[in-house]
Structure 1
């Protein structure tokens, strides 16, 4: 009998609408055995790739909407909104906090409603922050609290990551999870880079290293919101027509949440704050960091001096996203723990290089007060930058290439760590199943399936805790030294460096030293 005859055809695996008890029961896969090599070759790989492709697209949009405030907040002052640096840093931090909190329920929603169905729902929910954003930025009287509320709704985009990763985890066999999860996450992470790259161009600011000039009609932030609202509709329809749910994935929230009591998962949560939390936190803060320390432009009518953030802010997220699947593939080959340790050592070295470049910067004089800004706006052509401002900006501009290079290395190693840590989580639960059962027995098969469900829950919970780093990093840059942005930046990076040292030590102690437990070299 041929391999094709031994396996059920796709038509037997997926139920159609007519045989389903409800419309939402269409496209449910009844038989899914990715660990079976024949099944995977004949049927599984093709179905998994199709679901992965649309999962990446939907997650990509989620990340873009999640980080839309990271760039737009730097344009709000030029749009006439009188927000302080403290308020702007808090504004970019709010979506990260909400997104991290939503990751747990988003993870639990996948087995409850089905991966396809929840992808449709989560993509449709992106219409709330995008349409709210489009309205708020066109109303000059919008209060700060309203901006905070709308920014909080952008957190739904952060939740997409958890449900997407939990869903894709079910589709792939253990030896391919690292690459698949890394690719899925990288596609989402790339949304951060693209929103930071494209938003200035879309809204009429400037971008693509000056090749695209600012629009003569001024900046229109609402254009980006309308574009991503339309793409959210495309993602919803794509999930409806081309994705699948997997039957037999039960939702027991209490049992799933119990994974947080598993000691290795608690450790992984800490490590993920250091990897993914760094990626998303630095991505959110980078535009404001560059603007506050390297750029001066009091009003749009005045030609700015220094380094314009719109040309460079996207680079960090871009290289971090590209490094994530590399970390996953290296983890598949050499072990997640080894690559995670290498990543933290790289982050520590890179962060110290950032601090070296910061020591060569000058503190820029305080920007004009609101009354002074009003005077400048009344006659922009007559404004001249004070000599002290020009001198400090020129000095900092000369250091900027070194600062950017060191900062990009931080993104590279944090991206690698993102991929390797996510590879470790399924490996930990697989070790539990192998430790408790004998090879080749039905008990082993049952244990692997049970641990697969637990690992999917753990992916969401670890992702939720790790994303809190995306809130803490902008807040650390913000307080309590924001009146002197350079001092705030230096102090924050010293705090982060100390944390990375702790993460590296924990990685070695728990997963790599000779006396480590059964999880050594996961």
Structure 2
């Protein structure tokens, strides 16, 4: 690896070569991984905080349309995609220490904003959209943290290291969606604001403290930023912005971008929209099931129990993140391409299965229950295979590209795939879920073809 001799001092490593077992500092590499993984988890918490709050905004007093809510849930994805293009060039320019510490500190602002604005339904739509955009800083961090971490590990361990970091970081999605219903249930941080009354279809109003969902994470963010600043070091990789963009002349950059859209784009997009989609298909958002709002709401299907989205939405990201962690060591042993192929085939099958549940049968409670079960299991299968592909594609990239380019490609593919929540939100706004899922199935078919032809078949041009 080429280093810059001008970058000296205790925070800059010198003569760093992880491929040389005699000089590689294994302890430092793993310490870097755990610190950046902790802060990346907080970044994902911040990125997906709106996905846990937006579906309930109308229940706590706001009056946005279904389209407005889809756009608001999509906005962090748009922001993350744009900001990842910025963060992808930062590791060689700023170094690991400065980039991770300062990025983590920035998470304070969207957390504070959401914590303040959920306390009363007075914020204009544009202001909540700005806060949703700022939450995308957490998504942008990924394209800086992952390439930066790759500098510290030899190629033989990058599948495991990057899989652990990304997978455990992805747990931030489940964490915020799992803990939010619990955090809002009591006045743990009640001294920081007022409670809200949440309206539930066919049930009595419930007193909640939605600011807890945001304020709870602020101390962890401050600790993470300080820890990163004090404990991390930086590898003086030489690469200016112009040099980093030479990745775009390599066709494999574009092929891997498509494959990562199939995997992480699906994971992030469905993670952001899962709750709204469930609510609008099988919950209070479907006028064929529930009529009216609040205490005046009427259940139109006798004996049907409306599912509370907050009880289920964390499961999808949990399955996807867990698959990324568990399958990462297997990609080091077997190669990434074969698992990307399995991921694509699994996505085709699970998307096809889920399509059969996207038009709820409202003739009876039994048919609705059966349809909901099919929808839930189909969605969890999609998350599973997307998570496997998230692990395998990150094993492939360091094998296909030389070290400096691999970092740039990881950042670029992650940037484009981060638009997942945005495009899923727009797609579900402009077309029916069935049409949108059919398009996703056809895209997966194309990606399976690319994987087989370019990377997985015997005699493939770039076996990885």
Q: CA deviation at 1:242?
A: 1.9
Residue by residue over 1:226-245, the C-alpha shift from the partner in whole angstroms, topping out at 9 and shown as x without a partner, is 11222210110110222211
Contact 1:273 1:465 in 2 (8 A): yes
Equivalent position to 1:29, from 7, 10, 13: 13
Q: Does 1:467 align with 2:418?
A: yes
Q: Distance in 2 between matches of 1:66 and 1:393?
A: 36
The residue number in structure 1 matching 2:208 is 219
Q: CA deviation at 1:331?
A: 1.8
Residue by residue over 1:174-224, the C-alpha shift from the partner in whole angstroms, topping out at 9 and shown as x without a partner, is 10000000000011110001111011111229xxxxxxx999862222111
Q: CA deviation at 1:31?
A: 3.1
> What pairs with 1:254-265 in structure 2 (closer than 5 Å)?
254-265=242-253
Q: Distance in 2 between matches of 1:457 and 1:393?
A: 51
The residue number in structure 2 matching 1:408 is 380
The residue number in structure 1 matching 2:369 is 397
Q: Distance in 1 between matches of 2:72 and 2:169?
A: 22
SS of 1:218's equivalent in the other structure is strand
Q: Distance in 2 between matches of 1:193 and 1:330?
A: 23
The residue number in structure 1 matching 2:354 is 354
Contact 1:86 1:479 in 2 (8 A): no
Equivalent position to 1:147, from 128, 151, 167: 128
Question: Which of 262-271 and 221-230 deviates more?
Answer: 221-230
Larger Rg: 1
Residue by residue over 1:476-520, the C-alpha shift from the partner in whole angstroms, topping out at 9 and shown as x without a partner, is 11214xxxxxxx222211111111111111111222334532x1x
SS of 1:39's equivalent in the other structure is coil
Contact 2:73 2:421 in 1 (8 A): no
**Normalized against structure 2, the TM-score is what?**
0.88
> What pairs with 1:123-522 in structure 2 (closer than 5 Å)?
123-204=104-185, 218-247=207-236, 249-296=237-284, 299-301=293-295, 305-358=305-358, 361-362=360-361, 395-429=367-401, 451-480=402-431, 488-514=432-458, 516-517=460-461, 519=462, 521-522=463-464
> What pairs with 1:71-90 in structure 2 (closer than 5 Å)?
71-90=52-71
Structure 2, unpaired ranges of 5+: 1-6, 187-199, 285-289, 300-304
Contact 2:273 2:421 in 1 (8 A): no
Q: Distance in 1 between matches of 2:330 and 2:105?
A: 35
Q: Distance in 2 between matches of 1:516 and 1:502?
A: 17
**Normalized against structure 1, the TM-score is what?**
0.79
Contact 1:129 1:153 in 2 (8 A): yes
Q: Distance in 1 between matches of 2:296 and 2:460?
A: 61
Q: Distance in 2 between matches of 1:217 and 1:397?
A: 26
Q: Distance in 2 between matches of 1:190 and 1:198?
A: 12
Question: Which of 290-299 and 163-172 deviates more?
Answer: 290-299
Q: CA deviation at 1:358?
A: 3.2
The residue number in structure 2 matching 1:444 is none
Q: Distance in 2 between matches of 1:34 and 1:77?
A: 52
Q: CA deviation at 1:394?
A: 5.5
Q: Distance in 1 between matches of 2:89 and 2:266?
A: 25
Contact 2:168 2:325 in 1 (8 A): no
Q: Distance in 2 between matches of 1:201 and 1:477?
A: 29
Q: Distance in 2 between matches of 1:490 and 1:509?
A: 29
SS of 2:88's equivalent in the other structure is helix
Higher-helix-fraction structure = 1
Q: Distance in 2 between matches of 1:418 and 1:306?
A: 33
Contact 1:294 1:308 in 2 (8 A): no
Q: CA deviation at 1:425?
A: 0.7
Q: Distance in 2 between matches of 1:494 and 1:216?
A: 39
Q: CA deviation at 1:300?
A: 4.8
Q: CA deviation at 1:27?
A: 2.4
Q: CA deviation at 1:311?
A: 0.6
